[in-house]
Structure 1
Amino acid sequence: MTLKKRLTTAVAGALITGMVAFSSTAAAANWRYAHEEFEGDVQDVFAHKFKEYVEEHSDNTVQIFRFGELGESDDIMEQTQMGILQFVNQSPGFTGSLIPEAQIFFIPYLLPVDDDDIIDFFRTSKAINEMFPELYAEQGLELLKMYPEGEMVVTADTPVRSPEDFRGKNIRTMTNPLLSETYRAFGATPTPLPWGEVYGGLQTNIIQGQENPIFWIQSGGLYEVSPNLIFTGHGQFTTALMANQDFFNSLSADEQQLVRDASEYAFDYITEYVPGLSDEMLDKILEASPDVTVTRLTEEERQVFMDRAPRVEQRFIDMTGERGEALLEQFKADLEPYQSR
C-alpha cells in the first residue's frame, strides 16, 4: 500500500469513528462534503454556499474538505460510495471512469463557451436534468447539480495555433479515455496524470502542456511553468455535486428538500459568480508574469480543430453504445437553440 493510500485509509477510518460516535448523540447531523479544488476556487465557493443554506435553514452542519485533505479525486469518490462522505463534488473528467456516459462533456466543440448560453443550457437541458440522474443512481449516487466552471484553456511550452503545433507535445489529461482521444485528434500525445503531479511534470518537461479553466491555472500557478495560454474554444469545465444515495434516501422528505434547495441556492450563486471570473484571473496572471502569452484562435484556425471533433464523437458512441448515442442526441437537441446565436 502506498503512503498516500495509507494516509487516506487512516483519515477515512477516523471519519468512520466520528460518524459512529456522532450518530448516537443527536438528531442534528454533521454532513461531510469533499471537493477537488483549493480554498476560494469555484467548487469551494459552491460548497460554502451549500453549507450556508443548510446551516441557516436547519440544525445540521456541513464540514468541507478541500483538495488533498482526504486524498485525490478517486479517493473522495470511493469514500462517498462507502458512505464515509455524504457529499462529493467531482468533475466528469474523473467520474467518467465510473460513468462512461459522463465523458460526453469532453467531446470538443459540443458545448457553447459563452457564459449566458452555457448557464441557460445547464438550467434547461433534459439530458442533464432528467437523463444524467438515472445514470448516477446506478452507481449509488444522487446527482444534485451539474454546473459549469468556465471555458477550458490550454497551456503549453510554446504557443499553439494548429494541430501541427501540438505534434510532439505530451499534454496532460485527466484519467479519462475520451479526453485522451480529444488530444490525439488535436495532434498531441495525451498523458493522463493525477493533479498532484501536474506542476512538477510541467516544470521537468515530462509534459509540455495541460488544460484547465483560467481560475485553476491561476490558483495552481500553472502559468509559472507553462506560460503560453491558448484559447481554443473547445469546451467548458463541468462539475457535479452528488450525494451518497443510501444517505439521501434515509433523509426525511423535509431534509431531502433542504438538500435540493441548498444545491439550487449554491447553483444560483455560482452562475452569477463564474461569468467574468476568467477575465479577472487572466488579468492576475498577466500582472504576475511578463512571460505569459495569450493566443486566441481565429475562426479559421478553430475550424481546423472542429473538423477533427467528429472522430471523438464517434469514439464516445463506440464506448457507450446505445445509451450514449441517445444521450448525445438529446444533448444536441438541448443545444439547438444556441447554435444560431
Structure 2
Amino acid sequence: MSSTAKFRKLGIVSAVAFAGLTAANAVHADNWRYAHEEYEGDVQDVYAYAFKEYIEDNSEHTLQVYRFGELGESDDIMGQTLSGILQFVNQSPGFTGSLIPEAQIFFIPYLMPTDMDTVVEFFRESEAINKMFPKLYADAGLELLQMYPEGEMVVTANEPIEKPSDFNNKKIRVMTNPLLSATYEAFGATPTPLPWGEVYGALQTNMIQGQENPIFWIESGGLYEVSPHLTFTKHGWFTTASMANKDFYDGLPEEDQQLIQDAADYAFDEIIVHINGLAEKSLEKIKEASDEVTVTRLNDEQIEAFKARAPQVEDKFIEMTGESGKKLLNQFKEDLKEVQSDKE
C-alpha cells in the first residue's frame, strides 16, 4: 500500500467519528476545519489562530481549529485531510516525510543554520521552499500554504550529551521518519520511532533515554521532568508546514484561494514575531520549575565531532529520494549560501 493510500485509509477510518461533523459541513460549506500537532498556546496553535483571525476578519467564512489529540495523532489528521474531512492541516516534515520523502531534508544535521535572522530570511527567500516544495506537496494531494520555523532543536537525555560516544547504548525517540533515524544512528544512538503521545511515559519508564524537540515544546510538554539534561547541539531547526487538501483548494473560487494565501502570509509574519525570544523564555521557565535540569551548549570543537558524521546522512537522503532529492538539496545549499552571503 502506498503512503498516500495509507493516509487516505486512516482518514476514512476516522471519518466514522465525524459523521455529524461532515453532515453539518454539507449545510455550512463556509465552515472550514484546521488541525495541528501541538497544544494551546504553542507555535502551531498561534499560527492556526492567526490564520483563523485573518480568514474570519476578511470573509464570511469561519474556521474551526483542532489541537493535538482532539482528532488523533499526526497520521490521523493527515489522513483526515487527504480524505477531505479536514480542509487544512499543519504537520511537520518529521511525519510528512513518509508521504513526501523529500520533506525529510530538514533532518540532515548541520544543513540549516541556527541563528534566527538567517533562518527566517531563508524561509522567506528560498527557491527550494517556495517553488520546489509546492510541486512535491501537490503530487501528494496537498496545497502547501506555508513552511515556517518553530525553534532550534534541543536534545534531552538522562545524562548530559557532550560527544557522539555519549549516545552509545541510548535509545533516542524519533518521529516516524527514516532520515531522522539515520541522523541518530550517525550520532551513535539507537533511534526509536514513537508517536508523540507515548514519549513522556517512555522517558519516565526508561524505555527510551532521550529525545529531541524545540525548547518551547520541551517546556510545554513537561519533558524536562523526565529527561532533565538539555544539550544544544546546533544541528538544526524544527520546521513545520501548513497545507490544504488540494481538491478542496482547487475547487475554490479565485478570491477564496487568494484569501487563504494572504492568511498564510499573515500567520507567517505573526509567528516570526512570536518565536523571537521564545526559546529563552521557555528555558527560564524550565530552570525555575526544576533544580535537576542541566544545560549543555556544545563548543565549536564538540560540534565538529557531530558535524563530521553529517555527510553519511546526506548520502542517505539522496539514496532515499533519488534525483528529485539531489536537485532539492543542491537548491537548498544554493539558497543558504545566498542568504548567508547577504549577512556578511
TM-score after normalising by structure 2: 0.94
Instruction: Name the residue aligned to 1:207.
Output: 208
How far 1:298 moved relative to its partner?
0.1
Q: How does 1:217-232 map to 2 (within 5 A)?
A: 217-232=218-233
1:15: Cα distance to partner?
3.0
Q: Is the 8 A contact 2:11 2:82 kept in 1?
A: no
Paired position in structure 2 for 1:4: none
1:90 alignment partner AA = Q
| 1:75 counterpart = 2:80 | no
**Amino acid of the structure 2 residue aligned with 1:282:** L
Match of 1:20 among 23, 27, 45: 23
1:185, 1:308 within 8 Å by CA — same for their partners in 2? yes
How many angstroms does 1:226 deviate by? 0.2
Partner letter of residue 104 of structure 2?
Q
Whole-Å Cα distance in 2 between the matches of residues 256 and 10 of structure 1? 29
In the alignment, which residue of structure 2 is the partner of 1:178? 179
> Residue 52 of structure 1 aligns to a residue in which SS?
helix
2:329 pairs with 1:333: no
2:272 counterpart SS class = helix
Give the letter for the 2:26 counterpart: S
Q: Shift in Å at residue 218 of structure 1?
A: 0.2
Q: Distance in 1 between matches of 2:30 and 2:305?
A: 53
Tell me the SS of whatever aligns to 1:295: strand
Equivalent pair of 2:11/2:79 in contact (CA under 8 Å): no
d(CA) in 2 for partners of 1:228 and 1:76? Answer: 32
Note if contact 1:37-1:66 (Cα within 8 Å) is conserved in structure 2: yes
1:67 maps to a residue whose letter is: F
> Identity of counterpart residues, as a percentage?
66
The question of whether the paired residues in 1 share the 8 Å contact of 2:11 and 2:85 is answered with: no
1:141–1:244 Cα contact (<8 Å) kept: yes
Give secondary structure in 2 for the equivalent of 1:68: coil
Q: Distance in 2 between matches of 1:219 and 1:130?
A: 33
Contact conserved, 1:43 with 1:89, CA < 8 A, in 2? yes
- 1:45 aligned residue: 46
Runs of 4+, deviation exceeding 2 Å? 7-24, 337-341
Work out the CA distance in 1 between the residues paired with 2:13 and 2:240.
27
Over residues 58-110 of structure 1, what are the superposed CA-to-partner deviations in whole Å (9 max), with x where a residue is unaligned? Answer: 11000000000000000000000000000000000000000000000000000
Aligned to 1:269: 270
1:257–1:176 distance in 2 versus 1, CA, 3 Å: same
Letter of the aligned partner of 2:180 in structure 1?
A: L
Give me the whole-angstrom Cα distance separating, in 1, the residues matched to 2:68 and 2:303: 33
The residue type equivalent to 2:316 in the other structure is R
Distance (whole Å) between structure 1 residues aligned to residue 11 and residue 329 of structure 2: 36
Match for residue 298 of structure 2? Answer: 297
In structure 1, C-alpha distance between the alignment counterparts of 2:253 and 2:191, rounded to whole Å: 46
Superposed CA offset, 1:159-203 (max 9, x none): 010001111110000000000000011111100100011000000
1:32-70: CA deviation from partner (whole Å, max 9, x where unpaired): 000000000000000000000000001100000000000
* 1:129-163 deviation line (CA, Å, top 9, x unaligned): 00000000011100000000000000000001000
* Residue 275 of structure 1, CA deviation: 1.5
Matched residue of 2:173: which SS?
A: strand
Matching residue of 1:93 = 94
Match of 2:249 in 1: 248
Matched residue, 1:239: 240
Q: What is the DSSP-based 3-state SS (H/G/I as helix, E as strand, rest coil) of the residue aligned with 2:241?
A: strand
CA contact (8 A) 2:118 2:340 kept: no
Task: Please tell me the root mean square deviation across aligned C-alpha atoms, in Å.
Answer: 1.4
Q: Distance in 1 between matches of 2:23 and 2:146?
A: 28
Contact 2:216–2:278 (Cα < 8 Å) also in 1:
yes
1:35 maps to 2:39: no
1:272 CA drift (Å): 1.2
Q: Do the aligned partners of 1:94 and 1:176 also contact (CA within 8 Å) in 2? A: yes
Given that residues 33 and 63 in structure 1 are in contact (C-alpha distance below 8 angstroms), is that contact kept between their aligned partners in structure 2? yes
What residue in structure 1 maps to residue 150 of structure 2? 149
Aligned length in residues: 333
CA distance in 1 between partners of 2:253 and 2:202 (Å): 47
CA distance in structure 2 between the partners assigned to 1:210 and 1:200 by the alignment: 12
Question: Quick check: 1:8–1:70 contact (8 Å CA) kept in 2?
Answer: no
Task: Pick closer, same or farther for the CA change 1:199–1:111 going to 2, 3 Å.
Answer: same
Instruction: Determine if contact 2:14/2:76 at 8 Å carries over to the other structure.
Output: no
Shift of 1:9: 6.9
In the alignment, residue 229 of structure 2 is paired with which amino acid?
N
Structure 1, gaps ≥5 residues long: 1-6
Q: Please give the secondary structure, in 1, of the residue aligned with 2:70.
A: coil
- What secondary structure does 2:155 align onto? strand
Q: Which residue of 2 aligns with 1:131?
A: 132
Normalised by the length of structure 1, the TM-score is 0.95
- Structure 2 counterpart SS, 1:145: strand
Provide structure 2 residue ranges, at least 5 long, that are not aligned to the other structure.
1-9
